């Protein structure tokens, strides 16, 4: 090849290179408006707020807002110095059509202390990269299991109601809430309560009925899911026996006893000296008295505090008693039955033979003395007359 030929080839190469460079420059200038219209349209974390140690997902939705141009997406990644990616990155190319969206989901482990984090999602185009940061919160605030109200004291075998409340102070909803209640020597109804989803800021009332056999501790165990991560809250409530200061206290007064045949009629009033309402107040007599018709048992009904009602009962005795026990029973709001007994004095001589204290000596002696005086008087009279 002579010199001219060599010059010609070099010129052609230079010319070709120049032509290629001009074309490429034209392409770059023409694709820039296209990739600029590809963006992350939404970011979703599940759960919305993590506990430390929670596993979840981060989903980024990429939108191609170009109306007639497809875009090639390469190498979608999730990166953060504190949060741990536990799934793979998107290493393959994906084409996203005009006006289409494509989600990129990553499994992550929030293995970091409580706080705010800004993980990065990145995508590569053939000529540029897309970087997107969004807020991810780690908050270790648990649900609140609150004791709203409970009786002043419990009694053996008596059912009482405890009023609870489950509240969600977190910024995200939790679900599958279940409250389990247990305790040694205690009967709880219901012992397992499904609460379900608990919205952020929501308060859900929960009532349980407790019947203790002895003093014990009530164990409350609330479980719930934050995303797919189970969490729990426990609480203990001491169950101690004592007297309920507000308990209804029916007291008998104005008691009057009359008799008819072998039957005693007892009438009177029942006053509620307590603070709570006494429901289904009934009055009846106990052994040795034997309740008789027409008023074997008298139902006074409900008595509010300071209220009173009249009653009338009828009964018989074996005739050897001077008092008869009269029982007042009532139910509290939980249906527990309470009883109190008050003795009513009855006429001892009504049907009974009094205790035999021996013959009445005074009238007998008086009678004998009178007879003796009479006989003696006549004896001396006759002797005197004979003399």
Enumerate binding residues for another protein (CB under 8 A). Answer: 259-263, 319, 347, 349-354, 359-360, 362-364, 366-368, 370-371, 374-375, 378, 381-382, 385
Question: How far apart, in Å, are the Cα atoms of 36 and each of 39, 125, 130, 132, 134?
Answer: 7, 10, 9, 13, 19
Query: Smaller CB distance to another protein: residue 103 or 367?
Result: 367
Closest CA to 158 of 283, 275, 242: 242
Least gap, CB of 252 to another protein (angstroms): 22
Helices (H) and strands (E) in the chain, counts: 2, 27
Least gap, CB of 299 to another protein (angstroms): 25
Sheet holding 71-79, edge to edge: 94-96, 71-79, 120-124, 129-133
**What residues contact residue 218 under an 8 Å CB cut-off, 6+ apart?**
162, 181, 182, 183, 186, 188, 210, 236, 237, 238, 239
- Separation between Cα atoms, residue 69 and residue 251, nearest integer Å: 91
Query: Smaller CB distance to another protein: residue 252 or 348?
Result: 348
Query: Smaller CB distance to another protein: residue 242 or 319?
Result: 319
Residue ranges of the alpha helices (H) in the chain?
3-35, 361-386
Task: Give ∠ CA 209-212-214 in degrees, rounded to 5.
Answer: 165
Query: Smaller CB distance to another protein: residue 64 or 263?
Result: 263
- Separation between Cα atoms, residue 218 and residue 235, nearest integer Å: 8
Query: Smaller CB distance to another protein: residue 224 or 295?
Result: 295
DSSP codes, 46-105? ESSEEPTT-EEEEEEEEEE--SS--EEEEEEEEE-SSSEE-S--B-S-EEE-TT-EEEEE
Query: Smaller CB distance to another protein: residue 298 or 351?
Result: 351
Query: Smaller CB distance to another protein: residue 273 or 348?
Result: 348
**Residue 31 structure tokens:** 């694709």
Least gap, CB of 358 to another protein (angstroms): 9
Least gap, CB of 363 to another protein (angstroms): 4
Query: Smaller CB distance to another protein: residue 243 or 384?
Result: 384
| Number of other CB atoms surrounding residue 278 within 10 Å | 28
The answer to whether 179 and 196 have CB atoms below 8 angstroms apart is: no
Least gap, CB of 288 to another protein (angstroms): 15
Least gap, CB of 163 to another protein (angstroms): 54
Query: Smaller CB distance to another protein: residue 77 or 314?
Result: 314
Least gap, CB of 344 to another protein (angstroms): 16
Least gap, CB of 375 to another protein (angstroms): 7
Least gap, CB of 290 to another protein (angstroms): 13
**Residue 157 structure tokens:** 């075998």
Exposed e or buried b for every residue in 128-141, given b needs 16+ CB within 10 A? eebeeebebbbbee
């Amino acid at each position: 090849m002579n010199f001219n030929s060599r010059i010609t080839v070099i010129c052609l190469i230079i010319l070709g290179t120049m032509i290629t460079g001009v074309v490429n420059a034209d392409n770059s200038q023409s694709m820039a408006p296209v990739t600029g219209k590809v963006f992350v349209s939404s970011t979703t974390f599940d759960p919305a707020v993590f506990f430390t140690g929670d596993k979840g997902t981060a989903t980024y939705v990429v939108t191609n807002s170009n109306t007639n141009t497809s875009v090639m997406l390469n190498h979608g990644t999730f990166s953060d110095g504190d949060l741990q990616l536990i799934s793979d990155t998107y290493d393959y190319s994906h084409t996203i059509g005009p006006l289409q969206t494509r989600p990129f989901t990553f499994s992550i482990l929030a293995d970091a202390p409580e706080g705010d984090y800004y993980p990065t999602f990145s995508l590569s185009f053939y000529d540029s990269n897309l970087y997107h940061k969004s807020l991810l919160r780690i908050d270790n605030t648990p649900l609140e299991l609150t004791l709203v109200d409970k009786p002043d004291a419990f009694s053996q075998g008596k059912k009482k109601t405890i009023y609870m409340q489950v509240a969600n102070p977190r910024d995200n909803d939790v679900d599958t809430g279940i409250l389990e209640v247990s305790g040694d020597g205690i009967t709880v109804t219901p012992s397992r309560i499904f609460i379900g989803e608990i919205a952020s800021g929501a308060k859900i009332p929960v009532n349980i009925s407790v019947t203790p056999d002895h003093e014990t501790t009530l164990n409350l165990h609330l479980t719930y899911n934050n995303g797919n991560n189970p969490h729990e809250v426990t609480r203990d409530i001491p169950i101690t026996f004592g007297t309920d200061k507000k308990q209804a206290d029916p007291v008998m007064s104005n008691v009057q006893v009359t008799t008819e045949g072998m039957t005693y009629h007892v009438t009177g009033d029942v006053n509620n000296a307590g603070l709570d309402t006494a429901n289904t107040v009934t009055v009846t007599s106990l052994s040795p008295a034997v309740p008789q018709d027409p008023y074997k048992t008298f139902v006074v009904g409900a008595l509010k505090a300071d209220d009173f009602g009249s009653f009338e009962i009828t009964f018989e005795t074996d005739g050897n008693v001077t008092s008869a026990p009269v029982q007042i029973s009532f139910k509290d709001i939980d249906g527990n039955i309470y009883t109190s007994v008050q003795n009513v004095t009855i006429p001892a001589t009504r049907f009974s033979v009094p205790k035999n204290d021996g013959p009445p000596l005074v009238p007998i002696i008086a009678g004998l003395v009178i007879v003796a005086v009479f006989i003696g008087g006549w004896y001396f009279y006759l002797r005197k007359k004979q003399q």
